Amino acid sequence: MVEQASPLGDAYRPGSHGNLVDGAGVVITETRPGSIVEVAAWPGQRTALLEAIRAAISLDLGDRPGAGAMHEERSGFGIGPGRLLLVDEAEGLAQTLANAVGNETGTVTDLSHGRTAIRVEGDQAEWVLSKLFPIHISPDGFPVGEGRATAHHDISAAIQRTGAHSFDIYVFRSFARSFWKVLCHSAEEVGYEIR
């Protein structure tokens, strides 16, 4: 497959930036998963969809809003009623899921070329993201593995907590550069490193 160009362009400036008196409070990176896929259940088919996902890719996502799971190089979480976002480091997840999810159960949409994945990690990650998103971002309200669908102004975002101080954010590719700039600006106060 042809290497996809980053939508960040010249906004991607590796190195240390902002207030570095106490070191970098966060590290910001563009990750490049092989697959980003949305699956959606038809009305009354959420349980069947979850079972199909579990059988196809061994990911148990739970049955409540925002529930998520991580397994090796794969993760997923709820982004709305009967809707899930699934991410895999390898390509081909959309086809695997399309083969597993029957037409009577729901739909599978490959978003791999339409989304950009950004990772924010570090001791100040919650602080930086709380400036941008109107959600409860502390561990008691947003446990590891879970995800949230939210927005920063008009930029839709799906966020998954991947560790105690680590988050993966998925934004529309067409908004990636402007969101990246806002994210970096928000991190200036605590210092940030781009890798």
**Other CB atoms within 10 A of residue 181 CB:** 12
Q: What is the pTM of this model?
A: 0.93
pLDDT of residue 164: 95
The model's confidence at residue 1, banded by pLDDT at 50, 70 and 90, is low
pLDDT tens digits for range 6-55: 999 999 999 999 999 999 999 999 999 999 999 999 999 999 999 999 99
| Mean pLDDT of the 166-188 span | 96
CB 98 within 8 A of CB 42: no
Distance CA 135, CA 69 (A): 19
pLDDT digits (tens, 9 = 90+) for 103-157: 999 999 999 999 999 999 999 999 999 999 999 999 999 999 999 999 988 889 9
Backbone φ, ψ for residue 130 (5° rounding): -65, -20
pLDDT for the residue numbered 20: 94
Domain(s) labelled CATH 3.30.70.1520 in the chain stretch across 35-110
Location of each CATH 3.30.1360.120 domain in the chain: 9-32+114-194
The radius of gyration of the chain's CA atoms, rounded to the nearest angstrom, is 17
CATH class of 9-32+114-194: alpha beta
Class of the CATH domain delimited by 35-110: alpha beta
